[in-house]
Amino acid sequence: MKPINVGLLGIGTVGGGTWTVLNRNAEEITRRAGRPIQISVVADKNLELAQQVTGGQCRVTDDAFAVVADPEVDIVVELIGGYGVAKDLVLKAIENGKHVVTANKALLAVHGNEIFAAAQKKGVMVAFEAAVAGGIPIIKALREGLTANRIQWIAGIINGTTNFILSEMRDKGLAFDVVLKEAQRLGYAEADPTFDIEGVDAAHKLTIMSAIAFGIPMQFDKAYVEGISKLDASDIKYAEQLGYRIKLLGITKRTPDGVELRVHPTLIPARRLIANVEGAMNAVLVQGDAVGSTLYYGKGAGAEPTASAVIADLVDVTRMHTADPENRVPHLAFQPGQLADIQVLPIGEVTTSYYLRMRVQDKPGVLADITRILADQQISIDAMIQREPAEGEQQTDIIMLTHLAREKQVDAAIHLIETLPVVTGKLIKLRLESLS
């Protein structure tokens, strides 16, 4: 049978992995897809690298725009990343009637609405399993596997770098800066780790999952994003004493008032399966009204795990590409024109539980003052640790876990507590989710 022809844009880590896996498993992939899937042209600015990886087995070029215009190419795989030239290439490929497979979470989170509209108009598919959680087929699970459900919330460890750092901080009791350097040395963190450690990468992925789960447009600009760079090792230890682990979670939740869309360090009960996801692994927990909790776990990055998702999309597109566009799985799970207009809540309107750590003078009446302020804001306390001051010390730490409260009320209480003369410095606030 006639092979399907792929134009590969970018032969870096994931592009190289895609080349390798597609060739190594060609026989099984063909048996699954019904016809061979072959990369017929590779575009990369580094022509030498492209030639070296492909070993003369396909055409190489440094002109990606020629590939998206190539009449021989059926599917364009975009692995360049970023929202600059990648966006132009994807839109051009669509305009030329090519199907697109991409791993580019930033592009979809920021420009997805425009891209999917263009694809819809041209009747082509844009597939993006590799954009979220690497090799874990979470997009497929949300878009096809859980279609019976009203999805209630998703909570995911969707950035391997930060999960590696948090695991190391907990295991070895080390500070963030020390572990980050180690992660960079081991290749788990990039030279400029900002997107990972500040939660931006996780927010891109969360935005995509939120759109699919709730049938809403991509709204990355509304996401609340807080990373782990300011996380103190002592909070990981206190959390542990209270039976919790701290993970950088991407959380999106349906509420009567709107959708929550937030990335931040989160205390979760240590006995939950997802709390035991260690190192650079990813996991996504999905709560549906019929199915209950389901969890999806695996490698969220790396050459071959990500290639696994890219190629799964290639097989999907190959299997489906002759079907009428209206009989394909919709890009965002819901049929085009059926997206809902639900607002994303500002972080002040979010309701969750909180971990509060404050440094106080060891004097009578301190706890009474603090608890009075919390009570005035309708915030009730679920658990508390008060450290005995060390010999000769005048100050001590108080750690409180609250029941559910609205963030703006918690912030108001924090402001008042910080003005108490017996409280020293800033109060540390972390969010807590029971995930039940």
The answer to the question of whether 41 is labelled as a binding residue is no
Output 110 or 283, the one with its CB closest to a copy of itself. Answer: 283
Output 203 or 277, the one with its CB closest to a copy of itself. Answer: 277
Within a 13 Å sphere around the CA of 69, how many CA atoms are in the beta-carbon half? 6
Q: Which residues contact 47 (CB under 8 A, 6 or more apart)?
A: 60, 61, 62
Pick the binder of a copy of itself from 70, 201, 226, 304 (CB under 8 A): 304
The answer to the question of whether 187 is labelled as a binding residue is no
Interactions with a copy of itself, residue window 56-85 (CB under 8 A): none
Name the phi and psi angles at 19, rounded to 5.
Answer: -60, -50
CB of 286 to a copy of itself, least distance (A): 9
Identified catalytic residue from 87, 98, 140, 205:
205
Interactions with a copy of itself, residue window 255-274 (CB under 8 A): 273
* 52 near a copy of itself (CB under 8 A): no
Contact between 428 and 354 under an 8 Å Cβ cutoff? The reply is no
* 31 near a copy of itself (CB under 8 A): yes
Where are the alpha helices (H) located in 132-175, listed in sequence order? 138-140, 160-172
86: tokens are: 């990648």
* 338 near a copy of itself (CB under 8 A): yes
* 226 near a copy of itself (CB under 8 A): no
* Selection from 305, 310, 312 nearest residue 102 by Cα: 310
Spatial distance between the Cα atoms of 129 and 364, rounded to a whole number of angstroms = 57
Interactions with a copy of itself, residue window 5-24 (CB under 8 A): 17, 21-22, 24
65: tokens are: 């725009």
Q: Which residues contact 278 (CB under 8 A, 6 or more apart)?
A: 163, 167
* 434 near a copy of itself (CB under 8 A): no
- Residue 338: CB atoms within 10 Å: 10
Interactions with a copy of itself, residue window 124-153 (CB under 8 A): 129, 134-137, 140-141, 144-150
The answer to the question of whether 365 is labelled as a binding residue is no
CB of 317 to a copy of itself, least distance (A): 11
171: tokens are: 């295991």
* 172 near a copy of itself (CB under 8 A): no
- Residue 192: CB atoms within 10 Å: 9
* 28 near a copy of itself (CB under 8 A): yes
The answer to the question of whether 299 is labelled as a binding residue is no
CB of 184 to a copy of itself, least distance (A): 23
Judged by CB under 8 A, the number of residues near a copy of itself is: 66
Residue type, 314: L
Contact between 142 and 209 under an 8 Å Cβ cutoff? The reply is yes
| C-alpha dist (Å) from residue 17 to 12, 14, 22, 30, 303 | 8, 5, 8, 18, 5
CB of 333 to a copy of itself, least distance (A): 6
308: tokens are: 């696994």
Contact between 402 and 236 under an 8 Å Cβ cutoff? The reply is no
Output 273 or 375, the one with its CB closest to a copy of itself. Answer: 273
Pick the binder of a copy of itself from 13, 23, 25, 396 (CB under 8 A): 25
Active site residue 205: yes
The answer to the question of whether 16 is labelled as a binding residue is yes
433: tokens are: 């989710």
* 305 near a copy of itself (CB under 8 A): yes
String of contacts with a copy of itself for each residue 273-302, x by CB under 8 A: x--xx----------xxxxxxxxxxxx---
Cα-to-chain-centroid distance, residue 100: 21
The answer to the question of whether 10 is labelled as a binding residue is yes
The answer to the question of whether 97 is labelled as a binding residue is no
* 29 near a copy of itself (CB under 8 A): yes
CB of 29 to a copy of itself, least distance (A): 7
Spatial distance between the Cα atoms of 137 and 25, rounded to a whole number of angstroms = 19
Q: Is 97 exposed, middle or buried (0-12, 13-18, 19+ CB in 10 A)?
A: exposed
Positions marked active-site: 205
Binding residues: 9-16, 105, 190
Where along the sequence are the contacts to a copy of itself (CB under 8 A)?
17, 21-22, 24-25, 28-29, 31-34, 129, 134-137, 140-141, 144-150, 215, 273, 276-277, 288-299, 304-305, 307-312, 315-316, 319-324, 326-330, 333-335, 338
